Amino acid sequence: MKFINPYLFIVTTFFLVSCTSQKEKLSLKDAYKNDFLIGTALNAGQIEAKNAKEDSLIKKEFNAITAENIMKSMYVHPQKDQYDFALSDKYVAYGEKNKMFIHGHTLIWHSQLAPWMEKIADSTEMKAFMKDHITTIVSKYKGRINSWDVVNEALNDDGTLRQSVFLKTLGEKYLIDAFKLAAKADPKVDLYYNDYNIEEPAKRAGAIALIKKIKAAGGKIDGVGIQGHWRLESPSIEEIEKSILEYSALGIKVAFTELDITVLPNPWDLKGADVNQKFEGNAKMNPYPEKLPDSIQTKLAERYASIFKLFLKHKDKISRITFWGVYDGQSWLNDWPIKGRTNYPLPFDKDLKHKPAYESILKLKKKEE
Ligand code: 9MR
């Protein structure tokens, strides 16, 4: 039998044990705890903690949550005189139980409206809808929900106002009214304007004008949510940085609220998240049905690293970074703009394992130490 040096044995064992426990302890939320919140979007099953593995990952890695769908108008307010808070109650309870920052998504959005809302055609009825909808929901969760997307996606890509049912019936004043109603229902909750592509120059100018208008009219607006449905090559770090600086110069918080990065072909050069854009698929459009090639995996990790490096540089201006989904298998990008593709946009893969993107985000913090 070979002689084992007992001293060396003890030291090595201690080192290995401490490395393992160190690795287990590391998480996105802990690594970034002094910088900004790290959030995720939960689907209905995750709110109900149906899958134990997903649930423990969510609790370990994230300290902020957004409901991916269940708080949208069609679900919480299906009929004029009927609200359904069953799942949103569970969502808020989940956040409270786990001491997470709870974000409300979303109050006034042209999409995912209940059918009865789509039929509203005059200003009196629309005004009544907005007052009832915002006041009921925000008051219900007063002091429990920490921030709200008051208005979502009110702008076109050229920075003009979207011809939504709200704009058509009420004119642009609906934007100011929405923020005023929300502030009245819960004066302490943080109120956000949330949109995609608002890091692009023309739409950014539109968003800035909109935020200024709300402020000038005496509305309370605390932050802007840049959704961050991005690509490997765009938007540039320079445009993202300009956006952080310009929005924060308005005296509001900047949050990245729906971050993900598509790695799939995008021949139409689509940007953002207009869910009405749909295309037919073929094998060429779904090149990695089984596995992401290492070269792209590395590109994705580098892209996340450069984005988080920028976020850290401006951590004093940033309140929260939320990924749009917990792991790749759950991402909406598997179905947009083509149904049934296999995309890889998040730091956790379909088996909930860390991807190189996850390691690259954590590594930035290790370098700081
Ligand atoms: O991720 C959401 C997806 O499950 C829904 O089918 C879709 C329907 O509108 O909404 C997705 O979330 C959107 C978010 O609510 C607002 N910004 C764009 C997001 C991606 O489409």
Nearest to 41 by CA among 70, 13, 15: 70
Please give the pLDDT value at position 5: 65
Rounded distance from Cα 332 to ligand 1 centre (Å): 7
Coil, strand, or helix at residue 172? Answer: coil
Please give the pLDDT value at position 19: 43
Q: Distance between alpha carbon 94 and the CA centroid of its chain, in Å? A: 18
- Cα R_g (the chain), whole angstroms: 22
Rounded distance from Cα 85 to ligand 1 centre (Å): 19
Express each pLDDT in 215-273 by its tens digit: 999 999 999 999 999 999 999 999 999 999 999 999 999 999 999 999 998 877 777 77
Please give the pLDDT value at position 367: 78
Q: Which of 72, 257, 258 to mutate to test the pocket of ligand 1 (most atoms within 8 A of CB)?
A: 258
pLDDT greater than 70 at residue 12: no
What is the arithmetic mean of pLDDT over 8-14? 55
Catalytic residue among 54, 68, 153, 200: 153
Q: Do the Cβ atoms of 126 and 166 come closer than 8 Å?
A: yes
Give the number of the atom of ligand 1 that is nearest the alpha carbon of residue 336.
21
Please give the pLDDT value at position 282: 78
Residue with the bigger pLDDT between 369 and 189: it is 189
What's the chain's length in residues?
369
DSSP secondary structure of 246-261: HHHTTT-EEEEEEEEE
Please give the pLDDT value at position 268: 74
What are the residues facing 40 on neighbouring strands?
65, 323
- Which residue's CA is the closest to the ligand 1 atom numbered 6? 332
Phi–psi pair at 4, nearest 5 degrees: -110, 125
Residue with the bigger pLDDT between 7 and 79: it is 79
Please give the pLDDT value at position 125: 97
- Which residue's CA is the closest to the ligand 1 atom numbered 1? 332
Rounded distance from Cα 142 to ligand 1 centre (Å): 25
The architecture that CATH gives domain 35-368 is Alpha-Beta Barrel (3.20)
- Which residue's CA is the closest to the ligand 1 atom numbered 17? 273
Express each pLDDT in 82-102 by its tens digit: 999 999 999 999 999 999 999
Express each pLDDT in 161-170 by its tens digit: 999 999 999 9
- Which residue's CA is the closest to the ligand 1 atom numbered 7? 275
Ligand 1 and 111: CB distance under 6 A: yes
Residue 218 CA to residue 229 CA, distance in Å, equals 31
Q: Which of 149, 324, 331, 338 to mutate to test the pocket of ligand 1 (most atoms within 8 A of CB)?
A: 324
What is the arithmetic mean of pLDDT over 277-306? 91
Please give the pLDDT value at position 21: 43
Candidate from 15-29, 44-58, 118-132 with smallest mean pLDDT = 15-29
Q: Do the Cβ atoms of 307 and 235 come closer than 8 Å?
A: no
Ligand 1 and 275: CB distance under 6 A: yes
pLDDT greater than 90 at residue 16: no
Nearest to 75 by CA among 100, 47, 51: 47
Ligand 1 and 43: CB distance under 6 A: no
Express each pLDDT in 317-335 by its tens digit: 999 999 999 999 999 999 9
Ligand 1 and 332: CB distance under 6 A: yes
Please give the pLDDT value at position 364: 98
Please give the pLDDT value at position 13: 54
Give the number of the atom of ligand 1 that is nearest the alpha carbon of residue 332.
1
* Residue 258 bears catalytic tag: yes
Ligand 1 and 51: CB distance under 6 A: no
Please give the pLDDT value at position 22: 44
pTM more than 0.75: yes
Rounded distance from Cα 327 to ligand 1 centre (Å): 15
36 Cβ contact partners less than 8 Å away, ≥ 6 residues apart = 311, 315, 318, 319, 320, 321
Coil, strand, or helix at residue 216? Answer: helix
Q: Cis omega before residue 201 (within 30°)?
A: no
Ligand 1 and 61: CB distance under 6 A: no
What is the arithmetic mean of pLDDT over 120-144? 98
- Which residue's CA is the closest to the ligand 1 atom numbered 21? 273
Q: What share of the chain is helix, strand, coil (3-state, %, to 5)?
A: 45, 15, 40
Rounded distance from Cα 116 to ligand 1 centre (Å): 20
Give the number of the atom of ligand 1 that is nearest the alpha carbon of residue 272.
18
Candidate from 4-8, 155-159, 253-257, 344-348 with smallest mean pLDDT = 4-8
- Which residue's CA is the closest to the ligand 1 atom numbered 19? 273
Give the pLDDT band (50/70/90) at residue 1: very low
